């Protein structure tokens, strides 16, 4: 079956590279002329040569003819993509992590017009995947037979996929950990220490589980790669864009506005979700306020540390 990756950012390019090393794959993105000419994404993944079986497409219509579509677009542009392209009859795999700010929906809901929808998520940096470093991800698909087929089709010698049928849990884990990562980055940027970061990660994970339960996700999903695994990676590495935004906020530095940080919009979307469902999400709310500029680090600390004492 033919495979096309939609979105030529770092992660989309990395997926195309690792798949292209073991078979034919196409990559589409805006302004991919330089990628086709240089056989390298010098802006996003410098030094990673494209394999011979990786084809660069300049026409989205051509990419959409493929049997399997890996959608590696920013989460906030997914709704527009889905509403302006015919995905009926297609098998699509959402490779982005976030909650749509306008609708509060996850990637699988936004792509629901496709015949089959799966989610690919978990602890991964694009550079690691592109450089052939061992990586394990969760592939979630409600249709177990389709999931098995995708698992076989998309796994490579260095990219190991674990299968799940809990699509909601997998995509929520990938989205929510970005919010907690911003908070952890802010803690470290402000010089509050590793102990504070560990506390924020742990209590943040409790909030992730709270949200997942409210949406009917399976508790064990959040304990896996798409939840705890991704949280651990994103909250502890400078390679994480969400963690990097938090570092800048905590240190009072400017952050490159051209860098996509999915957790910023997801934090705002969670404020509405918490209100609608009556969920207590103090860390997520604090991150939302911090990103919006409604509170500084001193105020954020007071907001969290001043809460009533309670059982864990």
DSSP 51: P
In three-state secondary structure terms, 71 is strand
Q: Answer positive or negative: Cα dihedral of 68, 70, 73, 74.
A: positive
Residue 156, burial from CB neighbour count under 10 angstroms (0-12, 13-18, 19+) = middle
CA–CA–CA angle 19, 25, 31 (5° rounding): 110
The four Cα atoms 226, 229, 232, 233 give a dihedral, to 10 degrees, of -80
CA distance 203 to 222: 14
CA–CA–CA angle 82, 263, 139 (5° rounding): 60
Q: Which stretches does DSSP call E strand in 103-185?
A: 116-121, 135-141, 159-164
From the list 97, 115, 177, 298, the catalytic residue is 177
CA distance 161 to 154: 8
Look up 310 and say whether it is catalytic. no
Catalytic residues: 177
């Amino acid at each position: 079956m033919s495979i096309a990756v939609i979105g030529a950012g770092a992660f989309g390019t990395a997926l195309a590279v690792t798949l292209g090393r073991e078979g034919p794959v196409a990559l589409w993105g805006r302004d991919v002329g330089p990628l086709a000419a240089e056989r390298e994404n010098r802006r996003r993944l410098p030094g990673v040569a494209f394999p011979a079986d990786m084809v660069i497409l300049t026409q989205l219509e051509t990419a959409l003819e493929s049997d399997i579509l890996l959608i590696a677009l920013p989460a906030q542009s997914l709704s527009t993509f889905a509403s302006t392209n015919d995905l009926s009859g297609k098998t699509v795999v959402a490779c982005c992590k976030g909650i749509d700010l306008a609708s509060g929906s996850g990637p699988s809901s936004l792509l629901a017009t496709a015949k089959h929808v799966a989610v690919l998520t978990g602890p991964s940096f694009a550079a690691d995947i592109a450089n052939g470093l061992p990586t394990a991800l969760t592939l979630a698909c409600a249709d177990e037979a389709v999931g098995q087929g995708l698992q076989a089709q998309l796994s490579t010698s260095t990219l190991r996929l674990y299968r799940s049928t809990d699509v909601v849990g997998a995509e929520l884990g990938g989205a929510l950990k970005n919010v907690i990562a911003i908070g952890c980055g802010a803690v470290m940027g402000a010089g509050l220490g590793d102990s504070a970061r560990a506390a924020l990660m742990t209590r943040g994970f409790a909030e992730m589980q709270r949200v997942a339960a409210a949406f009917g996700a399976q508790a064990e999903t959040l304990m896996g790669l798409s939840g705890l695994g991704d949280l651990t990676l994103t909250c502890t590495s400078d390679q994480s864009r969400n963690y990097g935004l938090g570092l800048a906020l905590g240190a009072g530095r400017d952050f490159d506005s051209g860098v996509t940080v999915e957790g910023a919009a997801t934090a705002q979307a969670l404020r509405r979700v918490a209100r609608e469902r009556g969920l207590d999400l103090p860390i997520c709310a604090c991150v939302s306020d911090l990103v919006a500029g409604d509170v500084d680090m001193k105020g954020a600390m007071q907001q969290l540390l001043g809460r009533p004492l309670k059982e864990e």
